Structure 1
Amino acid sequence: MTGEAASLSLDKFLLTQCPSFHKSSTYYPTPYLFNGHLQTGYASMYKEKSPDVNYERELLQLKDGGQLSLDWTKPLNGTQDPSQPIAVVLHGLTGGSHESYVHGVLEKLVQADYRAVVMNARGCADTEITTPQLFNGAWTEDLREALAHVQAKIAPGTPMVAIGFSLGSNILVKYLGEEKEDTPLHAAISVANPYDFLSCNTNLDDGFFSRHVYSRAMSGNLKGLYARHPLMKKHSDIDPAQVMAAKTIRQYDGACTCKVFGYTTVNNYFRDASSARFIEHVRIPLLCVNALDDPIATAKYIPWEEIQINPYVILATTDYGGHLGWFQNLSAERWINQPLAEFIMAMFKAKVTTTCE
């Protein structure tokens, strides 16, 4: 990108290069999904996939003996250009490349002849584990290895933009704060990030509805993932009965996550995992998108001040959207797909020529 756009600050770049984020553009939720709970519930059931998004799987062997899978999108025209910019995608809790929120964004990138790779976490998306370890919100080493692997497979200097959803967005932001200027990524997007694990989980536990619906559902997904991998039962510090008895995220993390990763308490794990502590150290353009009525990634725990003091980070919020919802129109299509794709493609073209002042 040359000329005036090349010297724009991040916020002005967003407004000029991404029409969906302009002040004149407004998100209106689907009439029958008029609050965060309804949007979140519908998102959990919404399974639509794009016929244009197809993958080629690669298994990545990690340094510690573990394994994750990389799902590379197939080009619609049948040819792959190694110098073509690439989006790296991190899914949400127990998700994968099959998720509708992943397909929605990748459809627009693939249709524009761009490519992407989805990093499926250990044990997710039918990826077998090779050690008795899954993942957690604080563990960034797998992402670090995956990015190094992707970078080695593409042409030197090829723009890479990462996008993370929910748990994946927290891992991504924590990683960016740890790496500062040393990441191979040129830009990133955080979507529905919980930021503060301790506060968000306490908030879930304190509410009768949130504890018995959201926390129970997420712990159920985690237990299902644990049960699908018999190798996890071979971890000497884990009591499988205690894991399967968990009814909340906190109980699951106490029975499994803390034991696998050596945390003395659940609170210590939650504190370590919170990307809110790292976001002020991010040194590449980072767009954060959150819905203010998100019942899981609660708005009051967004690190407002830390974002405000970091010129590399910009926060875009919507009044509605729930957790990974953002459905609009009577047909309940995801509004968020277009603005996310706009930012990724704009950053592909701009590379790192925008200023962050």
Structure 2
Amino acid sequence: MDSSSLSPYILLFNALSQIPTWHYLVALLIISITFLYKFLEVHFFEDVFFKSQGTPITYNPSSPFCNAILSSCKILHSRFVATTWISSPHFQTAFLQFCGRSPVFSYRRHLFRTSDGGTIALDWLMNADVSGGAFGINGASLPMNNAISQDETTPIVVVVPGLASSSTSNYLKNLAFNLAKHGWNVVVSNHRGLGGVSITSDCFYNAGWTEDLRAVANYLHDKYPMAPLFAIGTSIGANILVKYLGEDGEGTPIAGAVAVCNPWDLLIGDRFICRRLLQRIYDKALTIGLQGYAKLHEPLYTRLANWEGIKTARCLRDYDNYATCHVDKFETVDTYYRRCSSAAYVGNVSVPLLCISALDDPVCTREAIPWDECRANPNIVLATPQHGGHLAFFEGLTASSSWWIRAVDEFLGVLRSSPYIHVQKKQTSGQHSALDSSIDQYPHLHVAEDGTVTAASSEGKRDAIEDIKNLQMLSEEKTTEMLSNAEQEKHVTEAKSDFMSETCQTSEIDKNIQGVESPDITSPLRRFLNQISQQNSISTWLLAFIAIRTSWPLVGSITKFIFRKRSRKIMPAA
């Protein structure tokens, strides 16, 4: 058959059939590799051909602390280059969970009891243990046995683990070992119910629970007052740490802190982790971890939460809906996420704080990083490497070291020898969170020197104001009653007596609010009049004018009634 009469498609098929099969296999392999390279966010060629200058750092350029500390932190400025064969945030994160290696050593355990009856496992690794080679024994925890004297001056680092992590996690053991080897006493503050310790109260930890960290920090500071106290938070632990620092402000005993892979805004993180297929895999993995945690404490969760819902939860949001919201009394999951996010507390941080967040973190999105707030706070340094995954940052040919651990060790070492470490300041007022609203504050009256009446915030005068309002309402009722029954002398006399008594009480309370720190409406009227007259004569005349103006209708009514009664007596005689 003449080839010119054949269909073009038949000609194309005949031509393609002449291509060897292995060529198609190679083409399929190239397409698959390209797809996976983009899908898994591999950055091998980017690292090789497009070398960056270093780690981007955000800070307040006018801050003496930032300028002085950053000039000595070479590792922090250096460029992070991931291990070649795991140059992907997903490979890095998976390697941390399944293949990460850690030194074998023994913690010294101390069980700390909280005020509500809860138990926290404090696992210690001392500098003396590492330098003396006293580690090994399959990583089992040893009793504390007062290993540190109260006069110890070696700085202490308290570590707050991530979600469902404990002191036995590989990355925490690497962190503790490296810090202890460089002259630190490290204590890992395990979350309630983790580290092999049972929950001994009805209180569980969550992403914004700062009470345990506050109690541990105060305990360590009081017991070892000569040892500077620093803190490191990882993942959810970083969110708890930053929120705690923002809540306590200048009142915290923490001298310096580091937050690594902080989720910052839990509501944004919740939307992000459900967005793509890979993120949903992480979501499911974290949910399984929390379900395992709940399984360890099933009797408590059965009593306090929705156990059937916990078992069938398919994502973190489901777990928080059936567990966290029930146990911690949050109205909704979004309410829990909003109240426990640390981004709202960044502006109140008064402690030197280093924040490290990888821009390709597959769990904590870069969208939640509070860039402007970190830049505005002179106490915060924000390092954002382009790559690193979640708590991974493995580098070197064998992935034997982690860049963020080296950077944290360097930063804390420079900070502890500088004059910029934070010193706790006693606060005269109670602690207030960054989310407290002034709507719930009850105003009271304040009379200025020019006689202007304004609102001021004093909780102690709330009862006096309520009494004033009640007396004014009662006074108006009495006045109306006397006007309507003006023909009955007995009622007028009683009303006059009651009204004058109440007017005196009202005036007394007004003077009390103006001239006394703590109101006492039962104090003698004369004492307050003397105090007011000494402080402000204008206010005295103002109160007198108010008294005359408010009592004038009653005085007029009484006078008219008396005049009419006497007129009736005179008329018959005439």
TM-score (norm 2): 0.57
Deviation at 1:354, TM superposition (A): 8.6
How far apart, CA to CA, are the structure 2 residues paired with 1:70 and 1:193? 22
> Is the aligned partner of 1:125 residue 2:198?
no
Letter in 2 for 1:229: H
Deviation at 1:323, TM superposition (A): 0.5
Closer/same/farther in 2, CA of residues 132 and 13 from structure 1, 3 Å limit: same
Instruction: State how far apart, in whole Å, the 1-side matches of 2:346 and 2:332 are.
Output: 24
User: Which of 306, 317, 324 matches 1:250?
Assistant: 317
Whichever residue aligns with residue 282 of structure 1, its letter is V
* Runs (4+) off by over 6 Å: none
Cα shift at 1:47 = 4.0
Please, which of 28, 34, 40 is the counterpart of residue 87 of structure 2?
A: 34
> Match for residue 100 of structure 1?
170
Q: 2:343 aligns with which of 257, 276, 282?
A: 276
Shift of the 128–322 alpha-carbon distance from structure 1 to 2, 3 Å rule, reads same
Q: 3-state SS of the aligned residue for 2:335? A: helix
Pairwise CA distance, 1:157: 4.1
Equivalence for 2:414: 346
Corresponding residue for 1:67?
119
Query: What amino acid maps onto 1:85 in structure 2?
Result: P
Q: What SS is found at the alignment partner of 2:417? A: helix
SS in 2 for 1:129: coil
C-alpha distance in 2 between matches for 1:115 and 1:166: 22
Shift of 1:10: 2.9
Which piece of structure 1 moves more, 260-269 or 29-38? 29-38
Distance of 1:37 and 1:234 partners within structure 2:
35
The answer to which structure has the higher helix fraction is 2
Question: Once the two structures are superposed, what CA deviation does each residue of 1:65-100 show, in whole Å capped at 9, x if it has no partner?
Answer: 111110111323377562211111001111111122
Paired amino acid for 1:346 = V
SS at match of 1:13: helix
Residues 46 and 100 in structure 1, CA contact (< 8 A), matched pair in contact too: no
Find the structure with the greater CA-based Rg.
2
Greater RCO, CA 8 A, separation 6+: 1
Residue identity (%)? 34
The AA in structure 2 aligned to 1:30 is T
Q: Distance in 2 between matches of 1:342 and 1:228?
A: 38
C-alpha contact 1:87 1:344 (8 A) present in aligned 2:
no
* 2: CA distance, partners of 1:145 / 1:129: 17
Counterpart AA for 1:345: G
TM superposition shift of 1:132: 3.5
Give the counterpart of 1:12 among 47, 51, 67: 67
- The 5 Å alignment of 1:34-183 reads 34-51=87-104, 53-74=105-126, 75-76=128-129, 77=132, 80=148, 82-154=152-224, 156-183=225-252
Matching residue of 1:3: none
Q: What CA distance in whole angstroms lies between the structure 2 residues aligned with 1:167 and 1:291?
A: 15
CA positional deviation for 1:234: 4.6
Deviation by residue 1:182-234 (Cα, 9 ceiling, x = unmatched): 000011000000000000111112223312x1110001000000101233235
Partner of 2:275: 206
Once the two structures are superposed, residues 105-124 of structure 1 have per-residue CA deviations (whole angstroms, 9 ceiling, x without a partner) of 22222112321111000011
Partner of 1:327: 394
2:71 counterpart SS class: helix
**Gap change, CA 1:116 and 1:11, over 3 Å in 2:** same
Q: Distance in 2 between matches of 1:13 and 1:29?
A: 28
**Contact 2:109 2:123 survives alignment (8 Å):** yes
Q: Could you tell me which residue of structure 2 aligns to residue 230 of structure 1? A: 298
Partner SS state of residue 259, structure 2: strand
Unaligned regions of 5+ residues in structure 1, if any? Answer: 1-6
Does the aligned pair in 2 maintain the 1:47–1:99 contact within 8 Å?
Answer: no
Q: 5+ residue gaps in structure 2? A: 1-61, 135-146, 424-574
SS of aligned partner of 2:384: strand
Residue identity opposite 1:146 in structure 2: V
Match in the other structure for 1:296: 363
Offset, 1:38 = 1.6
Q: Is the 8 Å Cα contact of residues 10 and 354 (structure 1) preserved in structure 2?
A: no
Alignment of 1:181-192 (within 5 A): 181-192=250-261
Which stretch shows the higher mean deviation, 324-333 or 169-178? 324-333
CA–CA distance in structure 2, aligned partners of residues 182 and 126 of structure 1? 32
Separation in 2, partners of 1:274, 1:114: 30
- Give the match's secondary structure for 1:60: strand
Deviations 1:1-49 (A, max 9, x none): xxxxxx9823323333322013xx2110011222212212222224422
Aligned Cα root-mean-square deviation (Å):
2.0
Whole-angstrom CA distance in 1 between matches of 2:90 and 2:344: 28
Deviation larger for 345-354 or 310-319:
345-354
Residues of 2 paired with 1:275 and 1:144: CA distance?
15
Letter in 1 for 2:308: A
Distance in 1 between the 2:384 and 2:222 partners? 35
For normalisation by structure 1, the TM-score amounts to: 0.91
Partner Cα separation in structure 1 for residue 102 and residue 344 of structure 2 = 35
**Structure 2 CA distance, aligned partners of 1:109 and 1:187?**
15
More deviation in 159-168 or 13-22? 13-22
Distance 1:80 1:37, change over 3 A: same
| Equivalent pair of 1:169/1:193 in contact (CA under 8 Å) | yes
C-alpha distance in 1 between matches for 2:157 and 2:232: 7
Whole-Å separation in 1 of the counterparts to 2:234 and 2:315: 21
Name the amino acid aligned to 2:118: G
Give the counterpart letter for 2:162 in structure 1.
G
- Structure 2 distance, partners of 1:351, 1:253, is 43
User: Counterpart of 1:336 in structure 2: which amino acid?
Assistant: W
Q: What is the CA–CA distance in structure 2 between the aligned matches of 1:252 and 1:324, rounded to whole Å?
A: 23
For the 8 Å contact 1:163–1:169, the answer to whether it is kept is yes
Q: Which segment drifts farther, 59-68 or 260-269?
A: 59-68
Q: Which residue of 1 aligns with 2:441?
A: none
